[in-house]
Amino acid sequence: MPATLTCPNCGRTFEAPEGLDACFCPACGTKISLVKSAPKPVQMPVMFQDARGFAIGSALVPEGWNVSGTYEEVKIDEITPFGTTASAASPDQTMTLGSRYGEHWYHYQLNGPLQLASPRKQWKKYMEPQDYLQSVAERIAGTKVTPVTGGSLPTAYSLNRNQEATKLVSRFEENAHIQLPNVQCELRLQNVLCEAQALICRYKKNGTDWTVITGADLFGLEYYDSSPMGTLNRKMTNVLRLKGKKKAPEDGSLPEFGHASDYGKPVDAIEWGSKRLYFAVGPTEKEGEVMKNFFTFAGSWTQDVSLNQRLEQAHIAQVQSEQASLRNAMNYAMQSQAMNMQRQAQISQTLSETSNIIMQGYNNRMASQDRISDNWSQAIRGVDSYVTTDGRTVEHSVVSDHVYQNQYGDTIGVSGQLDEVPRDWTEIHKKD
């Protein structure tokens, strides 16, 4: 039965003869193939595993390529407890594809309490994406490379950049509120970088021209210390740098540091790096094929679900650990404060007791001096002091051997010894 065709060139509809592989449009003469091509099989992602069969992830690679993977219990950074790599090589070993976990760095503008929160081995000056990708390419090539062109990379990370950026901000906010005991600062986020980029470079090795393509799921967080000490540090740093050439900004911002300077905002630190790295290497004569394989591989890479779960568990454990450290620090501070208050109370009591002792000694000394003064005065005047029965003090001549008091309080001094004490008279004695 003749088939009805529509010319793709002029739109004429006509019936094609039977038994032919091709025919021509009767209106414009365009050749039209009548052979139905078989549907092209859909390529399935290849699963990458390590030597133990531990699943790492999956991606599309050319058919017939050799694939391998590695999984290592190596702490990448404070929230990544393991590292993975995935590699694929062409049968003739001239082209390779690969992916591995990325890197995490801190760049600090100021010497201050912020630096106490991270290990020094993770300090590195911030690099723009293209510069960073070139440095990765040179590590892979083992020599200097020449950048050719760069652009965006359609990985799952970049396609979900809004969700990924939300994760970055959320985790920053968590860390900003979990400070180490000796870090007293107030962190404020200024700028967020969340994108995937690629860079094509070329180099020559052993007389052959090679192409290396690198890509990365990039992240960056620019923030500053809004505490009075952080503001003072920025102002002082500006004064030292400018050295009187021009007036420092009133807000203490450092315009030459970080992308937030485009908006006139201060930045003290940049937390930056890559979540994952991708690369491809091959001879420059096959550059088109290398590029196709690279973008297909990177765009289809999917990390194994179990590793994503492990990362989330590691993050939760890290947050809990930091919260526990903060609680311990707060408890220690409260205990120290209580001990200090107790010591202060003990010191106050000791000082009070010491003061009482000193005052008692002073009073005793003054009483002794008073007695000495009284005795001295009495000696000069030739009298002695006596205490009456009602507590009064009376004086009598030193020649009196005895002094008596009657019921009316009258006193009399007697030289010698009375044979009989008169009735209603009582002998009183000298004052001590």
Residue 123 and residue 154 in one domain? yes
Nearest to 298 by CA among 16, 94, 45, 129: 45
Same-domain check for residues 167 and 263: yes
Indicate whether 40 belongs to any domain: no
Domain tally, the chain: 4
**Are 254 and 322 found together in one domain?**
no
- Return phi, psi of residue 376, to 5°: -65, -45
> Are 212 and 125 in the same domain?
yes
Within this chain, do residues 199 and 319 fall inside the same structural domain, yes or no? no
Tell me the pTM.
0.64
Q: Above pLDDT 70, what percent of the chain?
A: 82
Q: Residue 367 belongs to what domain range?
A: 307-373
Whether 38 maps to a domain, the answer reads no
Q: Which of 331, 355, 373 is the last residue of a domain?
A: 373
Backbone φ/ψ region at 11: left (φ over 0), alpha (ψ -120 to 50), beta: left
pLDDT digits 0-9 by tens, 146-195: 999 999 999 999 999 999 999 999 888 877 766 554 567 788 899 999 99
* 8 A C-beta contact, residue 15 and residue 25: no
pLDDT at residue 37, as a whole number: 62
Structure letter (DSSP) for residue 245: S
Q: Residues 19, 54: one domain?
A: no
pLDDT at 212 over 90: yes
- Same-domain status, 242 and 113: yes
Torsions phi, psi of 208, nearest 5?
A: -115, 140
Tokens of 109: 């503008």
Q: Are residues 23 and 147 in the same domain?
A: no
Reduced to 3 states, what is the DSSP secondary structure of residue 354?
helix
Residues 77/95, Cβ–Cβ less than 8 Å: no
Cβ atoms of residues 168 and 219 within 8 Å: yes
Whether residue 41 lies inside any domain: the answer is no
What tens digit of pLDDT does each residue of 217-259 get? 999 999 988 888 888 887 777 666 666 555 555 555 555 688 8
DSSP 371-388: HHHHHHHHHHHTEEEEE-
Same domain for 130 and 227, yes or no, is: yes
